Chains A and B, each alone.
Chain A
Amino acid sequence: MTTAARHFGTHLHAPGPQPAPLDIEKIRADFPILRQEVHGKPLVYLDNAATSQKPRAVIDAIVRYYETSNANIHRGVHYLSEHATEQHDAARRTVQQFLNAHSANEIVFVRGTTEAINLVAQTYGRVHIGAGDEVLITGMEHHSDIVPWQLLCGEKDAKLCVAPINDDGELLIDEFADLIGPRTKLVAVTHVSNALGTINPIRKIIELAHQRNVPVLVDGAQAVPHIKVDVQDLDCDFYAFSGHKIYGPTGIGVLYGKAALLNAMPPYQGGGDMIASVTFEKSTYNKVPYKFEAGTPDIAGAIGLGAALRYVSEIGIDRIAAHEHDVLEYAIAEVSRIPGVRLVGTAGQKAGVLSFLYEDVHPHDIGTILDREGIAIRTGHHCSQPVMRRFNIPATARASFALYNTREEVDALVRGIEKVGEVFA
C-alpha cells in the first residue's frame, strides 16, 4: 500500500471539490525529527520557509541508494552505474511529472533555487541582456532573485527595475505592467514571498510579460511545497525551486526551462558530463539538460528529491494546501488577537508564512524566548532586506508552516508570544 493510501484509506479516490482532511498524526509519524524534545518541551517546528523536515521515505531513499546502488552515472557499463543512472533518470521524470513539464529534458538539476537563478542570469542573461536593457523584478524578492541580476546588470551596464508593493505586501500590478518597456528583456519574480507569504498573481504577471514578448523566470522556492504548480498551464519560461523546502534533501534543486530556450542557451559550467566531445581546440556540448550539469551531480540528492515529490504527490498537494491554509488562517486569527502584535504581510492571498512584530521587542529576543519553549521560528531579515526597508523595520519574527503543523502548535506559539510579554513586561 502506498503511503498516501495508508493515510487516507478509501478517501484517496473520493470525488468532490473538498479534499479529504489529512490524518496529521500519521503524517507526523512519517517525520522522525518531530518526535524530539527541545529544552524539555515538544519540538514545535515553525521554520519551514527556511527548510522543511524530511519524511522517513526520503531518508530511506538516500540510505538505500548509498547502501545498494552507489556508483557514478552516465559512465559505467557495470551494473551499479546503470542502476544509479536509472534512478537518477527516474528522479528527473518524477520532477517533470510534478511540474507537468512537457519533457524530462526541460528539468535541469542544480544545487537549489539560488543556483537555478544564477544559471539563467549567467547563460540566458549574458546572451540576451546588453547595455541599456532592463531586468524587471518586484519589491518582495529574496536576495537570490536580486543579486544575480545586479551582478549581470553591473557587467552589462543594464538596469534592474523594481515593481513596487503596497502596505499589505501585494504587488502593484498596474505599476508592474507599466514597467515592462521596450528595453525589458526578462521578468524575474517570486511566486510566493518568503518574508511576507504573499502569493503573487503569477498567471497575470506572465500574461502581461508575454503580451510584450518578455520571458518570465519564476522563483518557486516558497510555492512548490504549498500550491499546485503546472508549468505548462502557467506558461512560464523558467521555474526554479529547491528540494529542501519540499521535504527533500539540501544541495539539490531544479531549474525548469522551456526546451527551445534551454537549447539555445550557452553552457553554464564546463566539465565532465556536459560535453559531447573534447579536443584541445574545441569542445562540443551535450544536449539539454546535461549541457547544464557539469561534473558528477548530487545523485543521492536527486533520488531523495524524487522520493520527496512522490511523498507529496501521494498525499496530494491540494490536500496539503487545504490543511496548511486552515493552519495559517487559524494562526493569523489567533496571533492577531494578542495585544501588541502587528502582522507584516497581510496580502489577500497568502501561503505558509506569518511574519509579525510584538510590542517593541526585537525579533531576536522573541526567537530566543520561543526557542526555550521548544518553538523554532526564524527571526531577522529573511534574506529580504529591501522588504524590511519597505516596511521600515529591521527584522521580523516569522512562523512558517508545513503539512505536519497543527492548530495545537499554533496554540503553543501563542502561549510562547505571551511568555515574551511576561519576560519583557
Chain B
Amino acid sequence: MSDLRDLYQEVILEHSKAPRNFHGLADANHKAEGFNPLCGDQFTVYLHMDGDTVRDISFQGSGCAISKASASMMTQIVKGKSRAEAEKLFARFHGLVTGEDPSKSGEDLGKLAVFSGVSEYPARVKCATLAWHTLQAALEGQREATLPDEE
C-alpha cells in the first residue's frame, strides 16, 4: 500500500472527489479542449484573461483521479498568475511528473509537489499533464490541445 500512497496521496484523492473550479465560465474569453485518445479522458479548460493575467479559470470534463486532481489543483495555483508564470509552472510540473527534475522534490511547486509519485508510474504521466496541455492550448488561443507522443 505504501507505494500506492505515493501516487494516491490524500490531497490528490480529496481533489479528485471534490474538484475545485469544476464548472463552466460565463465570461471566458479563452477555451480549449484536451482529449487523451488512449484512455478517453477529456477536459475543457476555460480562461478569463485580463490582458496577460489569468483573472479566472475553471474546467469541466471527465477523467481518472490523477487527471482530475491535477486539473483541480492547476486551476487553484494558476488563478491570478501571468501567462509567463503559468507556463513556467507547467514546465516545472512537467519536469516533476516525468522525473526529469533532478531534485524530484518539487519544493518550488508548493502543493503541486504531491504529484511527485507520478514519475514512478510512466503510464500515468499523461493523466497528470492533460489539463496543463489544455491550459497551454487555451493560453495560445487554440481550441484543442495537442498531446505529445512521448512524455
Contact = CB atoms under 8 A, between A and B. Distances in A.
Interface of A: 361-365, 368-369, 372, 379-381, 385, 388, 394-395, 419, 422-424
A395 B39 contact: yes
Given A364-B39, A368-B7, A423 B1 contact: yes
A379 B4 contact: no
Contacts of B89: none
Contact of A364 (B3, B42, B124): B124
Q: Closest 3 CB pairs between A and B?
A: A362-B64, A364-B64, A394-B40
Interface in B48-84: 62-66, 68
A423 B39 CA distance: 21
B66 A394 contact: no
Interface string B93-131: 000000000000000000000000000010110010000
Contacts, number: 50
Contacts of A394: 40-42, 62-63
B124 A368 contact: yes
A369 B65 contact: no
B8 A364 contact: no
A372 B40 contact: no
B128 to A, nearest CB: 12
A357 to B, nearest CB: 13
B26 interface: no
B113 to A, nearest CB: 20
B8 A385 contact: no
B13 interface: yes
Contacts of B42: 394
A368 B121 CA distance: 8
Interface string B18-55: 00000000000000000000111110000000000000
Given A394-B63, A395-B39, 16 more contacts: A362-B63, A364-B41, A364-B127, A368-B7, A368-B123, A368-B124, A380-B39, A380-B40, A381-B39, A394-B40, A394-B41, A395-B40, A423-B8, A423-B13, A424-B13, A424-B65
Nearest to B63: A362
A363 B123 CA distance: 13
A395 to B, nearest CB: 5
Nearest to B8: A423
A362 B65 contact: yes
- Best-buried of A363, A365, A394 by chain B (most CB within 10 Å): A365
Contacts of B13: 423-424
Contacts of A365: 8, 64-66
Q: Which of B4, B5, B38, B124 has the most chain A CB atoms inside 10 A of its CB?
A: B4
Of listed A368, A380, A381, A388, residue having the most chain B CB within 10 A? A368
A365 B124 CA distance: 9
16 contacts: A362-B64, A362-B68, A364-B41, A365-B66, A369-B4, A369-B8, A380-B38, A380-B39, A380-B40, A385-B40, A388-B40, A394-B40, A422-B1, A423-B1, A423-B4, A424-B13
Contacts of A363: 64
A411 to B, nearest CB: 19
Nearest to A422: B1
Contacts of A368: 4, 7, 121, 123-124
Contacts of B123: 368
Nearest to B3: A372
A369 B64 CA distance: 12
A395 B64 CA distance: 10
